[in-house]
């Protein structure tokens, strides 16, 4: 179950691509674009990450941090970030603690096969840690520009 607009965003601490702990509460006073994605270096996830990278200056102008979360390891994130020059934070959640807290671990159907995985979802969290908008099942190519447009 996804969280709702108006909910307090669950705080968390996860390692970034360099193994340093990053907490949601570190960003109080900024808007946070928290996006969950299935896997580093897959076509859709790469397009989504590159779109966020391409729009990064716009997010900075709006005082918004961008954080990507997947089950990949910190080492995987490091290679992914280097390969595509990703300027934002990538967090590693192999135990799915944050993924499950935000309700994005869901049943998926792929070619008739049912499995569980991360459903590509983006949350916009306001300066006080409250969920401002929820974007379920986002499109990798348009997600970044949709959020920038929303931010005005």
Q: What is the DSSP string of 112-130?
A: TEEEEEE--EEEEE-TTSB
Grouping H, G, I as helix, E, B as strand and the rest as coil, residue 78 is helix
Residues 6+ apart with CB under 8 A from 85: 53
From residue 100, how far is each of 18, 65, 70, 96, 106 by CA, in Å?
23, 21, 11, 6, 9
Catalytic residue from among 45, 67, 98, 135: 45
Q: Are 74 and 7 in contact (CB under 8 A)?
A: no
Q: Is 45 a catalytic residue?
A: yes
Q: Can you read off the two tokens belonging to residue 29?
A: 């006073």
Give the catalytic positions in this structure: 45
């Amino acid at each position: 179950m996804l969280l709702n607009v108006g909910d307090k965003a669950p705080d968390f601490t996860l390692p970034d691509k360099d193994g340093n702990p990053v907490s949601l509460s570190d960003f109080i006073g900024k808007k946070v674009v928290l996006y969950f994605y299935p896997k580093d270096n897959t076509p859709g996830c790469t397009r989504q990450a590159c779109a966020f990278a391409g729009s990064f200056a716009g997010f900075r102008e709006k005082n918004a941090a961008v954080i990507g979360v997947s089950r990949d390891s910190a080492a995987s994130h490091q290679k992914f970030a280097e390969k595509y020059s990703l300027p934002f934070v990538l967090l590693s959640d192999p135990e799915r603690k944050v993924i499950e807290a935000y309700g994005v671990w869901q049943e998926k159907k792929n070619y008739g096969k049912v499995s569980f995985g991360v459903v590509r979802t983006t949350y916009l969290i306001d300066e006080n840690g409250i969920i401002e908008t929820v974007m379920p099942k986002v499109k990798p190519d348009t997600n970044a520009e949709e959020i920038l447009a929303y931010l005005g």
